[in-house]
Structure 1
Amino acid sequence: MRRVLPRWLRQIARGLVMTTLAGVSLASLAATCPWPDWDAFRRDTISPDGRVVDASTERQATVSEGQAYALFFALVANDRATFDKLLGWTENNLARGDLSAHLPAWIWGKRDSGPEAGTWGVIDDNAASDADLWISYTLLEAGRLWRERRFTALGTLVARRALREESAVLPGLGRTLLPGPVGFHPTPDSWRLNPSYVPLPVMRRLAAALTEDRGWQAMVESAGRLIVDTAPRGFSPDWVLYQKGAGFRPDTDTQATGSYDSIRVYLWAGMTAAGDPLRAGVLRTLHPMADYVLANGHPPERVDTQAGTFGPNAGNAGFSAAIAPFMLAQGQPDAARAQAQRTRTLAAQSPSGYYGQVLTLFGLGHVDGLYRFEADGKLVPAWNTACPARR
């Protein structure tokens, strides 16, 4: 007699449902792909309780951006244990114990002034919208990929709060992401913006997942303009001012410099799916950066984005890692490989700090095929399809 398997087991075998046994999601038992860079980052930069530590700072600081990025990498790595630790630490220490009710404070560490000097805790409780977008995005994708409704619900709440507290309707631009809830509206007619805070895959996914919140689709369109219209010579600035009736103007503090913030603009552009309607225009606008890299063998550390002139120093290993997907998207695979190799060579000579490591995880993880984005922003990690061949 042919043995009939129980219905629940047949469903699991067919991949129709995911369930939990002994508190472990079956999604977390899926194959993982080797990722030495993540193993090193987890070992050297993440504390046992889930805090991403920037050891280069006297404060031994943790920023919400770092927690957000690490959550994303943990999902790409299918590392549920680390993901849970990172999320728990973020909620308990940056969001006053409730991420559904509070956006996370942007910086935590050893306080060095005031009556609390020498103690550890939140240093500035203002939020950072780039971190909040990556957190909400990663929670939504973790909910989808790991079949965990709790993550989906929490990601939705964070996204809605970010839309409500970290965006504004700018005259002539429409609803636009602000860098945080407080401090980016210096005059009644001006706003301070950051082009690296609006990665198109993340914006696309939030707009697709939260269709009832129409502001997200409006912010996708303003994000495209923020990236393209602030790069008149093909190079993106770290910060920019938007002024009613006048449009984009150089930021008064950074004077149109493009450097450690804006290197992510090229990174996000390189990772954007070919089917994204805004991708071609962004790559075309930023093509002068590709020309510079081809001519010089490295990205510049600093650019005067108004004059189109460059500082004397080459970008570090993290810069090359960030530019590698961009060169690939620009149809320059040999240059992309060269930038990946430059990253490895420089990192071997002098280990990268926290920021260089995250740029490496993003850039080389994408080039090596450990993850990609679909046109609607959905994450496709290699562990959910097929691991890339070892190189």
Structure 2
Amino acid sequence: MRVRINKKIGVALALGLAASVSFANLVKVAQTTAAPGACGDWSGYRAFVERFVQADGRVIDYSTPAQQTTSEGQSYALFFALVANDRATFDRLLGWTRTNLAGNQFDAQNMRLPSWQWGRKADGSYGVLDPNSASDSDLWIAYDLLQAGRLWHEAAYTQLGEALAAQIARQEMTTLPGVGPMLLPGPQGFKSGGVTRLNPSYLPLPVLRSLAHDMPNGPWGKLADSAYKLIKTTAPQGFAPDWAAWQNGQFVVDPKNGDTGSYDAIRVYLWAGLASPADPLAKPWLAALGGMRARVAQTGFPPEKVSSTSGTASGEGPLSYWAALAPYFKALGDERGLGLARTHLAALDTNVPGREPVYYDRVLGLFGTGFIDGRYRFDEAGRLVPSWRKECD
């Protein structure tokens, strides 16, 4: 037991939690925290951790030359660990993020936004590749921490989540006249020459609702309304674009990436499908994205790329698209679409010799299958409602 207690104290110190967690609490946590492992019967999560998460808590996308780690990958893995009731892996993920992406400045009193990209540099060394942060990942990490604090009854997580959310509001927000507060994709590089670039996939409604519930004095409730205006306006054919922009008092096509909706935008449908049906924006949000449902009904598959302004489509979306669309079809009551998604997602449980699992397929696969299989949901206030069958062991 002494080894585990000391180990837990080390984790707490690494996370900067020692000031807010008593020794008695650490002993209690050390006695109850499960080691990473089986995590109930969620085989997809087990496979993801085994393949993509290093022992030190680093999530690796092996498909990239830099063997990169992103703050997005860390934020999603934190969420999955919470859904799996796997606190040991959660702490490892958080500790690695704090040390490597936030430069050990990830405390309630000293909070730095994590760098979004880390990996192998040109000289062969490893470290931060781009110090700019990604606001969607920051939102998810703040959400993960706040929900961990609530579900695991640990105030230290809550304090970190609140501190991170405050920095997001301070550094990654702007105001669009006539619309309201809006999330910038990051602190640097998205406002230039009268154009503000925006990413519709960075705004999950349940996450915004949760932040508004936990921090009612922040911009989060109004941001949810602004986000809906962005989604509705930039999807005139019912298809979300990867990127959009604000110029001269209106939403316009992004001058850099155009009106294409593809690998970023597929998450817009996912987040819409995850929202609680009791949320007043859930139904209109889904209705604004009806083009994808109609296209799949017509062709039997989601397009890889689609013009958000004309609806012209090309290609066939990969497995990750089906994963993202499964909750969307479920929320819409589209049994045929959901059945197609389930059929395709069965491939996630199949190991093909010589074929490495695709990172994005597996990440969105955990979101999609976890939801339609009832492993988690969000309530009207955006709070996570996991189905904890047992502790991770």
- Contact 1:19-1:26 within 8 A present in 2 as well: no
Of 320, 323, 342, which residue of structure 1 is paired with 2:322? 320
Number of equivalences? 359
For each residue in 1:97-116, what CA deviation from the matched residue of structure 2 results, as whole angstroms up to 9, or x when unmatched? 0223210000000112xxxx
2:141 maps to a residue whose letter is I
- Contact 2:33-2:87 within 8 A present in 1 as well: no
Tell me the SS of whatever aligns to 1:242: strand
- Contact 2:33-2:88 within 8 A present in 1 as well: no
Answer 1 or 2: higher relative contact order, Cα 8 Å, separation at least 6. Answer: 2
Q: For 1:78 and 1:277, how far apart are their aligned partners in 2?
A: 29
- 2:20 aligned residue: none
Q: For 2:242 and 2:195, how far apart are their aligned partners in 1?
A: 17
TM-score (norm 1): 0.88
- 1:76 aligned residue: 83
For each residue in 1:52-81, what CA deviation from the matched residue of structure 2 results, as whole angstroms up to 9, or x when unmatched? 001011100000000000000000000111
% identical aligned pairs: 47
Shift of 1:24: 2.6
Tell me the SS of whatever aligns to 2:106: coil
Instruction: Classify 1:351/1:276 alpha carbon distance in 2 versus 1 (closer, same or farther; 3 Å).
Output: farther
Q: For 2:50 and 2:347, how far apart are their aligned partners in 1?
A: 21
Q: For 1:157 and 1:129, how far apart are their aligned partners in 2?
A: 14
For each residue in 1:352-376, what CA deviation from the matched residue of structure 2 results, as whole angstroms up to 9, or x when unmatched? 4211111100011100100000011
1:296 matches 2:325: no
Of 211, 228, 232, which residue of structure 1 is paired with 2:232? 228
- Contact 1:320-1:343 within 8 A present in 2 as well: yes
Q: For 2:201 and 2:327, how far apart are their aligned partners in 1?
A: 15
Q: For 1:53 and 1:232, how far apart are their aligned partners in 2?
A: 36
Instruction: Classify 1:198/1:154 alpha carbon distance in 2 versus 1 (closer, same or farther; 3 Å).
Output: same
- 1:251 aligned residue: 254
Instruction: Classify 1:228/1:287 alpha carbon distance in 2 versus 1 (closer, same or farther; 3 Å).
Output: same
- 1:287 aligned residue: 290
1:360 matches 2:365: yes
- 1:373 aligned residue: 378
Unpaired runs of 5+ residues, structure 2, are: 1-23
1:163 matches 2:169: yes
Alignment of 1:22-61 (within 5 A): 22-24=28-30, 26=32, 33-61=40-68
For each residue in 1:11-38, what CA deviation from the matched residue of structure 2 results, as whole angstroms up to 9, or x when unmatched? xxxxxxx966454375869x95411111
- Contact 1:266-1:322 within 8 A present in 2 as well: yes
- Contact 1:370-1:381 within 8 A present in 2 as well: yes
Alignment of 1:1-391 (within 5 A): 21-24=27-30, 26=32, 33-100=40-107, 101-112=111-122, 117-187=123-193, 189-213=194-218, 215-245=219-249, 247-311=250-314, 313-345=315-347, 348=350, 351-383=356-388
- Contact 2:239-2:308 within 8 A present in 1 as well: yes
Q: For 1:303 and 1:71, how far apart are their aligned partners in 2?
A: 31
For each residue in 1:181-232, what CA deviation from the matched residue of structure 2 results, as whole angstroms up to 9, or x when unmatched? 0000022x3200000000000000001101122x122211111111111100
- Contact 2:348-2:365 within 8 A present in 1 as well: no
Q: For 2:337 and 2:310, how far apart are their aligned partners in 1?
A: 25
Q: For 1:170 and 1:194, how far apart are their aligned partners in 2?
A: 14
Q: For 2:40 and 2:143, how far apart are their aligned partners in 1?
A: 22
- Contact 2:143-2:161 within 8 A present in 1 as well: yes
2:268 maps to a residue whose letter is V
Q: For 2:129 and 2:42, how far apart are their aligned partners in 1?
A: 33
> Which stretch shows the higher mean deviation, 87-96 or 299-308?
299-308
TM-score (norm 2): 0.88
Shift of 1:252: 1.5
Q: For 1:176 and 1:110, how far apart are their aligned partners in 2?
A: 33
Unpaired runs of 5+ residues, structure 1, are: 1-17
- Contact 1:317-1:344 within 8 A present in 2 as well: no
Q: For 1:374 and 1:233, how far apart are their aligned partners in 2?
A: 29
- Contact 1:33-1:382 within 8 A present in 2 as well: no
- Contact 2:57-2:93 within 8 A present in 1 as well: yes
Tell me the SS of whatever aligns to 1:57: coil
Q: For 2:261 and 2:349, how far apart are their aligned partners in 1?
A: 23
- Contact 1:53-1:60 within 8 A present in 2 as well: yes
